[in-house]
């Protein structure tokens, strides 16, 4: 027997303000009567507002408020903004005219955001048709939670009297109003007789949006000291269901919003009638028929599937419109190009005025800058010219080394002639007057000559200076320089495999031709000049880096350090780029291998895809489970995080104790943060992308209804659906509602509803216990769950004495969500004397204060706030600082009087 199917849908937001009134409709409906009260059911899930003379509230909307957007002019056009509205409430707060960041009035089940109350009341009164009224001639009936703090109550009452000049206010508990309304109905559903509770003693279970309350009624009054509260309600159940569905089915995470999860909870989830939740799960494990019967399949609409364009239908675009947009894009690109050219020419003109000796910088992307002139060329163009330029530079360097060898040999011959002349008694004046007079190609500094590229080739050391005797100067350095020059020359010749001077000249001519061919391929004079300038700068920087610091000036040393840092950064970027390219090549090879494997053995390939998909899904689920467990401070992940922090504070892994603080010097030290965080967003994105590609590939290989094999019965906690647009629900249907009975499932350290009812009943006098269980009333949105009433009955039968089984009577409100508003309206319309006695008038407000409360059938117990303690002597105690305490202790030890 197969289970049913439920199509996910959104809540009908249009019905929230369907009953709003205009001022004309308000007067025409005959509502302008002071005996008709404005009823406000201030729930943490929904605010329900209307008139007491009507059978249902006119407004039902979430208690969220935001400001409207300001009207702005963009590109000469004013924004479409509703300037007549400054505040937006309910579903309007999420619309296009409202600002982002809508705030709720409630924090938990308490109305703590007081600054939003007046804004919400303004919009409510406007939508009830009271926009043109100078004063509100209606009393207000406002619901509140159990044991409402006086400060919150005072805020509401003060706004109603001061801002709207209300003629009176009645405050009551929503659950008691619901019990009042249902008590007033007979079996046929008609209303008759005076209003009041059906029994003098009753137990009311109110399971609402943010909390669940157990309220005992004794002698038609609330026994406040026996009330119990559990911080689990419909909101926590919705959040639990949403997170579990998003974790189990990550493809539909975007479609599984909180609003849709709430609709799923209301229409699909059920409460297990039996108190034995673990036994129920065991039954599902063993009974396949029960498993299939209880399964509900969530159908995801096509508009919400991954990759869909959304709910809006595609707009037909004519070919003329496509061509017009194409021309607009081309025109915009042309204008942008002209602007860039004009800016470049302006920069070039400015650089021409400043000279060409400015700072130069370069990076591995082919962008070089000298002064303010910035010529841009691609990496491919630079590589095209750099290769022949490097070859030409190397050949000219060999030629420069040859010239140096010839120069040094000429100097050695001159020295030999000088020595022979000295032996013959000739004059020393025959020695050349300068170090470079030995030949026309001699270099006075001993460095290489400048090549045709304008770059110095070799960086051989200069001739030693400082010797007073010319002969001694030449004799001391010439042999060493000749040896270095010859050694460098022969190594360069061997590297080039050059056998003769003619071959060297031939190689130079060929390199020059290669450079000219590269210039023609670039085919842009500015780019060629920029590339040549970049090459010269690069070689000059190489020469600077190769020079020892003791031969450089202070400015040159600074430039050398800057170049070293720049080269290191460029090397890192180049390495990263090579790694990316290698990874891209690896992925391409892997793709080719997979395609070949797919063609050769499709079945094995499909099996491999499914195995990879299962592994990715399990990894995502484990990561999400670890993230959820990290939010609980008692979980293993949180304890592990605190342990790592304690280790760092105590000196572990490079901590400050036991030596110097060296944390961070090793790359492995920073792994502690990865261990504490426990997740990697980049890895998650990669896995999600890979998972989507795998699903698309599986869908392209097999029919849509044969992608996955459905398991037989319970085959693990997680299992895959029949198709990607389906979400099967079995255990989450019951686990969601079980959180009220076992809050520990979601990490709430409180007793369940069964224990709360038992504690509340046992706190009453023993004579009242068998009486109060005869009237157990259930209200609140969670009580709409099928099986909730049976579960309450079974839990009470187990907890109470065995002889009370026939006495226990449970019943549920006709409409647990709306009966609180209807009960408040009934109390205002037919309460007569009880309503007048419960009304807080303006005189009461001015005399007793905003916290004052008149007790009545459905109200809280009034407990006045204690007065603030005041010191009659106006004595201000000084802070006892640590230093003063130390001084006092020292004085006590040495026997001196204390200065304090």
Residue 104, domain CATH = 3.30.420.40
Q: Give a yes or no: residue 397 inside a domain.
A: no
Say what percent of the chain tops pLDDT 70: 71
Q: Residue 157: inside a domain, yes or no?
A: yes
Q: For residues 806 and 417, what is the distance between their CA atoms, to the nearest angstrom? A: 137
Q: Are 528 and 385 in contact (CB under 8 A)?
A: yes
Residue 221 lies in a domain: no
Q: What is the pLDDT of residue 358?
A: 40
What's residue 651's pLDDT? 56
Whether 432 has a pLDDT exceeding 60, the answer reads no
The two three-digit tokens of residue 451, written as one number: 């090549």
Structure tokens at 291: 């498993």
Handedness of CA 66, 70, 71, 74 (dihedral sign): negative
Residues 6 or more apart from 544 whose CB is under 8 A from it?
552, 556, 559, 560, 563
Q: Is residue 178 part of a domain?
A: yes
Instruction: Yes or no: say if 844 and 865 are a contact pair by the CB < 8 Å rule.
Output: no
Q: Return the DSSP state at 633.
A: T
Q: What average pLDDT does the segment 641-662 reach?
A: 58
Question: What pLDDT score was predicted for residue 365?
Answer: 38
Least confident of 195-199, 212-216, 621-625, 740-744: 621-625
Yes or no: say if 898 and 892 are a contact pair by the CB < 8 Å rule. Answer: yes
**Helix axes of 602-630 and 554-600: crossing angle, nearest 10 degrees:** 130
Placement of tokens 């957007």 in the chain: 69
- Give the CA diameter of the chain: 152
In-domain check, residue 337: no
Q: Which two tokens stand for residue 341?
A: 């050219």
Q: Please say if the pLDDT value at position 76 is more than 50.
A: yes
Distance set, CA 637 to CA 626, 648, 681 (Å): 7, 17, 18
**Whether the Cβ atoms of residue 610 and residue 698 lie closer than 8 Å to each other:** yes
Q: Name the residue among 682, 678, 687 with its Cα closest to residue 619.
A: 687
Mean pLDDT computed over 198-205: 94
**Strand-strand pairing, 59-61 and 47-51:** antiparallel
Rounded Cα distance between 155 and 149, Å, is 10
Dump strand ranges (E) for 346-489: 360-362, 367-370, 373-376
Are 385 and 535 in contact by the 8 Å Cβ rule? The answer is yes
Query: Residue 498: what are its φ and ψ, rounded to 5°?
Result: -100, 125
Place of tokens 């010859």: 486
DSSP structure string for 528-572? HHHHHHHHHHHHHHHHHHHS-GGGS-HHHHHHHHHHHHHHHHHHH
Residue 19 neighbours by CB under 8 Å, 6+ apart: 50, 56, 57, 58, 59
The larger pLDDT score, comparing residue 563 to residue 378, is at 563
Lowest mean pLDDT among 2-6, 100-104, 445-449, 567-571: 445-449
- Give me the mean pLDDT over the 324-334 stretch: 79
Evaluate if residue 132 carries a pLDDT over 90: no
Half-sphere exposure for 166 (CA within 13 Å, toward CB): 27
Please state, in angstroms and rounded to a whole number, the distance separating the CA atoms of residues 734 and 785.
10
Q: Which residues pair with 362 in a beta bridge?
A: 368
**Does residue 860 lie in a domain region?**
no
Q: Reply yes or no on whether the pLDDT at 652 is more than 80.
A: no
Q: Which has the closest alpha carbon to 182: 789, 821, 787, 788?
A: 821
Asked if residue 721 lies in contact with residue 728, where contact means CB atoms within 8 angstroms, the answer is yes
Domain assignment present for residue 185? The answer is yes
Q: What is the pLDDT of residue 353?
A: 47
Specify the number of domains making up the chain.
Answer: 1
Q: What is the DSSP string of 304-316?
A: GSTT---SSPPPP
pLDDT level of residue 314 (50, 70, 90 thresholds): very low
Q: Is the pLDDT of residue 223 over 70?
A: yes
- Do residues 771 and 761 lie in contact, with contact meaning Cβ atoms separated by under 8 Å? no
Q: Is 103 domain-assigned? A: yes
| Banded model confidence at residue 30, pLDDT cuts 50, 70, 90 | confident
Supply the pLDDT for residue 171: 96
pLDDT at 860 over 80: yes
Provide the domain limits for residue 72. Answer: 23-196+816-848
Evaluate if residue 48 carries a pLDDT over 70.
yes
pLDDT score of 625 = 73
| DSSP structural state of residue 9 | -
């Amino acid at each position: 027997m197969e289970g049913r199917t439920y199509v996910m849908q959104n809540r009908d937001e249009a019905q929230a303000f369907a009953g709003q009134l205009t001022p004309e409709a308000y007067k025409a409906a005959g509502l302008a009567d002071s005996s008709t009260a404005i009823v406000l059911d201030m729930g943490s899930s929904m605010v329900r507002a209307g008139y007491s003379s009507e059978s249902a509230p006119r407004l039902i909307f979430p208690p969220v408020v935001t400001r409207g957007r300001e009207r702005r002019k963009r590109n000469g056009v004013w924004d479409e903004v509703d300037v007549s509205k400054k505040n937006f409430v309910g579903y309007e707060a999420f619309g296009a005219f409202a600002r982002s960041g809508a705030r709720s009035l409630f924090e938990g089940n308490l109305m703590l955001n007081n600054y939003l109350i007046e804004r919400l009341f303004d919009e409510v009164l406007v939508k009830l048709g009271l926009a043109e009224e100078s004063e509100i001639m209606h009393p207000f009936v406002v619901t509140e939670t159990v044991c409402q703090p006086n400060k919150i109550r005072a805020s509401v009452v003060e706004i109603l009297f001061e801002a709207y000049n209300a003629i009176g206010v009645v405050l009551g508990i929503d659950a008691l109003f619901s019990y009042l309304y249902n008590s007033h109905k007979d079996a046929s559903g008609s209303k008759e007789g005076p209003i009041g509770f059906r029994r003098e003693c009753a137990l009311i279970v109110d399971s609402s949006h943010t909390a669940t309350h157990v309220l005992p009624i004794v002698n038609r009054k609330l026994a406040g000291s026996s009330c119990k509260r559990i911080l689990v309600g419909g909101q926590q159940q919705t959040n639990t269901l949403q997170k579990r569905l998003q974790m189990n089915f990550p493809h539909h995470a975007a479609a599984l919003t909180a609003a849709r999860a709430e609709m799923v909870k209301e229409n699909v989830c059920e409460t297990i009638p039996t108190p034995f939740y673990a036994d129920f799960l065991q039954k599902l494990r063993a009974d396949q028929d029960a498993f299939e019967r209880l399964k509900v399949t969530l159908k995801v609409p096509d508009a919400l599937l991954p990759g869909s364009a959304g709910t809006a239908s595609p707009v037909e675009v004519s070919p003329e419109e496509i061509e017009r947009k194409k021309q607009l894009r081309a025109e915009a690109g042309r204008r942008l190009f002209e602007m860039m050219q004009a800016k470049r020419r302006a920069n070039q003109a400015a650089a021409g005025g400043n000279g060409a000796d400015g700072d130069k910088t370069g990076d591995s992307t082919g962008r070089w800058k000298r002064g303010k002139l910035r010529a841009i060329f691609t990496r491919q163009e630079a590589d095209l010219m750099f290769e022949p330029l490097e070859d030409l530079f190397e050949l000219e360097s060999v030629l420069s080394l040859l010239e140096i060898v010839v120069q040094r040999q000429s100097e050695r011959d001159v020295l030999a002639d000088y020595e022979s002349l000295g032996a013959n008694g000739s004059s020393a004046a025959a020695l050349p007057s300068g170090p470079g007079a030995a030949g026309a190609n001699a270099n006075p500094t001993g460095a290489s000559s400048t090549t045709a590229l304008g770059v110095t080739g070799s960086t051989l050391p200069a001739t030693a200076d400082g010797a007073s005797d010319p002969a001694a100067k030449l004799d001391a350095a010439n042999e060493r320089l000749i040896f270095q020059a010859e050694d460098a020359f022969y190594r360069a010749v061997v590297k080039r495999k050059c056998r003769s001077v003619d071959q060297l000249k031939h190689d130079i001519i060929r390199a020059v031709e290669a450079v000219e061919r590269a210039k023609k391929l670039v085919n842009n004079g500015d780019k060629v000049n920029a590339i040549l300038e970049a090459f010269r700068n690069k070689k000059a920087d190489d020469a600077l880096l190769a020079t020892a610091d003791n031969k450089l000036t202070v400015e040159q040393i600074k430039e050398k350090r800057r170049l070293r840092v720049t080269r290191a950064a460029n090397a890192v970027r180049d390495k990263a780029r090579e790694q990316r390219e290698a990874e891209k090549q690896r992925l391409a090879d892997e793709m080719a291998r997979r395609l070949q494997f797919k063609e050769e053995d499709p079945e094995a390939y499909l099996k491999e895809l499914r195995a990879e998909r299962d592994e990715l899904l399990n990894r995502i689920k484990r990561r999400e489970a670890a993230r959820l467990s990290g939010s609980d401070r008692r979980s293993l992940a949180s304890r592990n995080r605190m342990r790592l922090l304690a280790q760092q504070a105590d000196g572990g892994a490079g901590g400050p104790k036991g030596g110097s603080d060296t944390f961070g010097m090793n790359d492995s030290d920073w792994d502690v943060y990865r261990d504490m965080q426990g997740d990697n967003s980049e890895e998650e994105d990669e896995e999600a992308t890979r998972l989507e590609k795998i699903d698309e590939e599986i869908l392209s290989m097999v029919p849509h209804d044969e992608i996955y094999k459905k398991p037989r019965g319970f085959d693990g906690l997680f299992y895959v659906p029949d198709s990607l647009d389906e979400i099967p629900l079995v255990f989450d249907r019951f686990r969601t509602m079980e959180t009220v009975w076992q809050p520990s499932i979601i990490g709430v350290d409180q007793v369940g509803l069964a224990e709360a009812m038992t504690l509340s009943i046992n706190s009453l006098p023993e004579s009242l216990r068998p009486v109060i269980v005869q009237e157990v009333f259930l209200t609140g949105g969670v009580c709409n769950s099928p099986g909730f009433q049976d579960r309450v009955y079974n839990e009470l039968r187990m907890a109470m004495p065995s002889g009370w089984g026939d006495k226990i009577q449970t019943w549920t409100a006709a409409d647990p969500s709306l009966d609180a508003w209807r009960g408040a309206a009934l109390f205002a319309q037919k309460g007569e004397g009880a309503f007048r006695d419960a009304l807080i008038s303006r005189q009461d407000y001015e005399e007793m204060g905003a916290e004052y409360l008149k007790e009545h059938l459905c109200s809280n117990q009034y407990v006045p706030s204690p007065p603030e303690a005041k010191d009659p002597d106006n004595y201000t105690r000084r802070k006892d600082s640590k230093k003063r305490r130390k001084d006092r202790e020292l004085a006590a030890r040495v026997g001196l009087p204390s200065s304090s």
